[in-house]
Structure 1
């Protein structure tokens, strides 16, 4: 399928890298330097110019474009690009990234009457994700597959979690409708079996129904005890998070260094203490007793500030520090310095775009861990090689696991004797390298590789 991506910033570049492995991608970008970078690093077509230019879009339609994803930093350019290509070919699926809250009031919406099939707010998506991470004990990452009713939560095992360490998984009180699918340890990934154990500093991925994943989270602590939160940055995402926390009647402080922005925030957040100060000054965080907070969220639009505030917060003893970043190169840095959870703007957006544009072809697709892992939802086809035989008789890829089998209302944690039937919905966790083998087993073509 020919997919047009307008804008080759961090979000557009990474989405083009992801989609170009399986689809024909055309990138339209007005910055010549950025165009040269994309041409050098990706196997995609590139047009240097304004993505809202009708002549360029007409050229894209002539090249067989079936989808346009507008991801520039300017909302109006994204919306106009969608409207313009719809005028040229109404069958092109259009997706626009929109940040301004004047245009959107939900994380994902539709404005088909003006030519935008799917409108995505990365700020609202980021806020929702961060809220889940700081609200779930032990969680450092969170994703959801709403159409399957499944959550994917990543937890970090600390030394104080003695009730979980060095005990075989088969002996742990893991709720029945969830499963541990992966353990990240010292740069390696383990697809665990019953005899495997957790060690301190492990990062573990759990997939299951919400009631079960949250029951698993209670092994790390009581969510009802999380009551005090400090936010650094009154960005659009920061405002959304503050509103969500305020709705839960929690104790929230928001620190913002721009005085005019503080006035705007104070008008919209009646029950939130808005503080005009520079949070990169350790004395500011010390005076606000940030060490007593249950979580610190660094959500400014500047990675350097988020990194510095995160380091100060960890030094002051905040039990969970979450930071936002947009530049891909910062992901490893946040991890190296011990920030508990770093939420990548580009990955939040990429996951939602993939989820929306391929929902007709697969139950769900989620990209994890720097685009090297995926969680996939599939319906078992009658022609699937894996159907009708016990799983123990199937040569399953070593880097993949069937996490759940959804059969009607029944949730099955598969074992060796489990037999997959036509129509079963399965949730898979896999390394991306294993996808070709899974496609053969399930007699399907996945939209990503």
Structure 2
């Protein structure tokens, strides 16, 4: 597949790095230095120019392209780029937008605005926040098989009750699979005697109830979040509150600007909107922040989000989730005390990359910037899994593949060595990145 990516910022660069190994990729950007740097780091064709301009797209080879991904920081530019590409080529177009208002317009008619698939950054970020809040101690959460199966990633801290236990000792759940442990730079496929260590990231796959139970055992002090405080009435803050309302929660939202606070109060009937400064210690104490299960910092700058998150934690909030616009700050936020740091550009890049890969799978989750993937596969008669017990079929798969869950006719089937996988079953599989191509061909 030949893919043209317009925009060589954080999003475009991440997508290019993910796709370059298996596809031909061209990257277009008005900033020549960005293009040159990306060409040096990744095997891509670089074109300096405006991706919304027809001449630039033709220089990038639009006539032979299969897909155009518009990923600049400007919504209108991305939409125009897709429309321009459609005027001269039969190409599949993906547009990144920050504002969900464009998404709502696009959803009214398939292919509207010349866009075949649209990814709304702020909405997707809010959805990520909502999933993480719903599962205590999790850093990443994805669902598969229509919500029957859940995958979650947990950082194991020193005080966790499972620290120092073997996988066999920690595995007390009927429908949970320990798919992998990310340890330093290694992906470890665990056996029963693998010891879970401080600093590990444990990847588990199973039913929602089992994953929730494991989350409680990882951090017993963190129960299911009920009292959520959102700091900042940004678009991400608004969507987070709306999504939490839809789950039956009654969040509180702090917004400093009077007009914005009034607007949010009118739009969010199930949210208590408070007009104040979220860095006002006395105000937070009056609002009993020490009783809050989770604080979401969604202000307009990374510095403010860091300050608000750390202040809430110091005053007693159980957990702090912060939006981090600059990708290079994500690890810093975690190191100084923020529990989960979410970068909207990374969320967007992963979603677009995931979409480009779904031709081989029903659903895809990307683990830690392409170190591994979790795939949902509908098994056909040609799969090495079909009609065979798992213990027999896995011998034909490369190392680094773990069958995490099976669904059959909408029901969960627990994978065991003697479980026979049938054609039309949906199988959720963890795959190390090094084994991805070989595994995909056989699954």
TM-score grouping bracket, smaller chain normalisation: 0.7 to 0.9
Taking the aligned partners of 1:375 and 1:106, their CA distance within structure 2 comes to 32
TM-fit CA distance, 1:277: 4.1
Deviations 1:6-40 (A, max 9, x none): 11221111111111121111112122332233223
Say how many residue pairs are matched: 440
Helix, strand or coil for the counterpart of 2:83? helix
Helix, strand or coil for the counterpart of 1:329? helix
Counterpart for residue 338 of structure 2: 339
| Aligned 8 A contact 1:108 1:121 in 2 | no
Cα 1:83–1:268 change in 2 (3 A) is same
Cα 1:412–1:37 change in 2 (3 A) is same
Taking the aligned partners of 1:148 and 1:358, their CA distance within structure 2 comes to 20
Counterpart for residue 80 of structure 1: 80
Cα 1:356–1:201 change in 2 (3 A) is closer
TM-fit CA distance, 1:74: 1.6
Cα 1:154–1:45 change in 2 (3 A) is same
71-80 vs 339-348, which deviates more? 339-348
Cα 1:45–1:360 change in 2 (3 A) is same
Cα 1:302–1:342 change in 2 (3 A) is same
Taking the aligned partners of 2:400 and 2:211, their CA distance within structure 1 comes to 22
Name which of 160, 170, 181 aligns with 2:179.
181
Taking the aligned partners of 2:105 and 2:232, their CA distance within structure 1 comes to 21
| Aligned 8 A contact 1:11 1:345 in 2 | no
**Match runs of 1:357-396 below 5 Å:** 357-380=356-379, 382-384=381-383, 391-392=390-391, 394=395, 396=397
TM-fit CA distance, 1:66: 0.8
**Do structure 1's residue 431 and structure 2's residue 429 form an aligned pair?**
no
Cα 1:224–1:319 change in 2 (3 A) is closer
Name which of 201, 206, 214 aligns with 2:204.
206
Counterpart for residue 252 of structure 1: 251
Cα 1:66–1:252 change in 2 (3 A) is same
10-19 vs 216-225, which deviates more? 216-225
Cα 1:101–1:438 change in 2 (3 A) is closer
Taking the aligned partners of 1:37 and 1:256, their CA distance within structure 2 comes to 40
| Aligned 8 A contact 2:137 2:222 in 1 | no
**Do structure 1's residue 279 and structure 2's residue 278 form an aligned pair?**
yes
Cα 1:59–1:111 change in 2 (3 A) is farther
Deviations 1:219-269 (A, max 9, x none): 556998633221122211111112223445544332334444334323323
Counterpart for residue 12 of structure 1: 12
| Aligned 8 A contact 1:401 1:428 in 2 | yes
**Match runs of 1:16-415 below 5 Å:** 16-89=16-89, 91-105=90-104, 111-146=110-145, 149-157=148-156, 162=161, 164=162, 166-172=164-170, 174-185=172-183, 189-198=187-196, 202-217=200-215, 219=217, 226-248=225-247, 250-280=249-279, 282-380=281-379, 382-384=381-383, 391-392=390-391, 394=395, 396-409=397-410, 411-415=412-416
Taking the aligned partners of 1:251 and 1:71, their CA distance within structure 2 comes to 34
298-307 vs 272-281, which deviates more? 272-281
Cα 1:152–1:110 change in 2 (3 A) is farther
TM-fit CA distance, 1:200: 5.7
Taking the aligned partners of 2:246 and 2:105, their CA distance within structure 1 comes to 16
Taking the aligned partners of 1:388 and 1:146, their CA distance within structure 2 comes to 20
Helix, strand or coil for the counterpart of 1:120? strand
TM-fit CA distance, 1:398: 4.2
Helix, strand or coil for the counterpart of 1:317? coil
Helix, strand or coil for the counterpart of 1:366? strand
Taking the aligned partners of 1:289 and 1:421, their CA distance within structure 2 comes to 54
Counterpart for residue 446 of structure 1: none
Taking the aligned partners of 1:386 and 1:132, their CA distance within structure 2 comes to 31
195-204 vs 78-87, which deviates more? 195-204
TM-fit CA distance, 1:294: 0.8
Q: Any stretches of 5+ residues in structure 2 without a counterpart? A: none
